[in-house]
Amino acid sequence: MAMLAFDVDDYPEEKIIYDQTPIRLFNANWLERLTHITPLVILVLYVPVLLGSLVLGAWGWNKDTPIWAFPFAFAAGFVALWTFVEYILHRFVFHFQPRNKFQATAVFLFHGVHHVQPHVKTRLVMPPTVSIPMSFVFFAAFHYGVGLGLGLPIMVWPMFAGFTLGYLCYDLIHYATHHLPLRGRIMKFLKRHHMEHHFKTPNARFGVSTSLWDQVFRTEPAK
């Protein structure tokens, strides 16, 4: 492909490059720039989405609905839905097993390059070119699944707010596990868990913000 600046055959799955010079993915400079992102951009984009969702949820709250349902919906979006989606995306999309070179190139573009160069700072959080379309897809899923399917439209905004917070935590934790000195038992565990995914078991330990679903689906190898 003329637009691509690499050949996926040069980067087998087990290859790890410690050079901090990022692999160039696209020949066009404007496309290449879109593959580099910092955590600050994610905060600027999604903190307003989070706050706006909370405001819209509170604004449209039905007084006949118990107030505890609001934090419950928020927690459900954060704890249950996001962590599950994070696990499913990482295991089955990011680590999709390609059957041909076209699929291998696609997988390398959206995740394989991170495994080849795990410590390149500008490729640790999801680019907006990917995360923004995905946010619309997930909001549509909330709207049609929870709002229309389950008949609970009042739950959509607080649940989506929790989901957005989960995504923010995921991206920031992912960046932190690679580039920040972490303290505390939980953060040290998450760092070790993710480093073991990279350097010991790339086909296991798919959770980043939690190991819950690795435990449920038995992708957490015995220590």
The pLDDT assigned to 1 comes to 55
d(C-alpha 91, C-alpha 205), whole Å: 9
Within its chain, how far is the Cα of 217 from the centroid? 19
Closest of 171, 142, 167 to residue 157, by C-alpha: 142
The pLDDT assigned to 12 comes to 82
The pLDDT assigned to 5 comes to 87
d(C-alpha 210, C-alpha 219), whole Å: 13
Closest of 95, 124, 109 to residue 6, by C-alpha: 109
DSSP designation for 119 = T
Per-block mean pLDDT, blocks of 10 residues, the chain (223 long): 84 81 93 93 96 94 86 94 96 94 92 92 92 95 94 94 97 94 93 95 95 95 78
pLDDT tens track for 152-192: 999 999 999 999 999 999 999 999 999 988 899 999 999 99
Domain definitions of the chain by residue range: 39-216
Question: 164 with 49: CB under 8 angstroms?
Answer: yes
Q: Which amino acid is at 47?
A: V
Query: What phi and psi, each to the nearest 5 degrees, are found at residue 74?
Result: -60, -50
The pLDDT assigned to 65 comes to 84
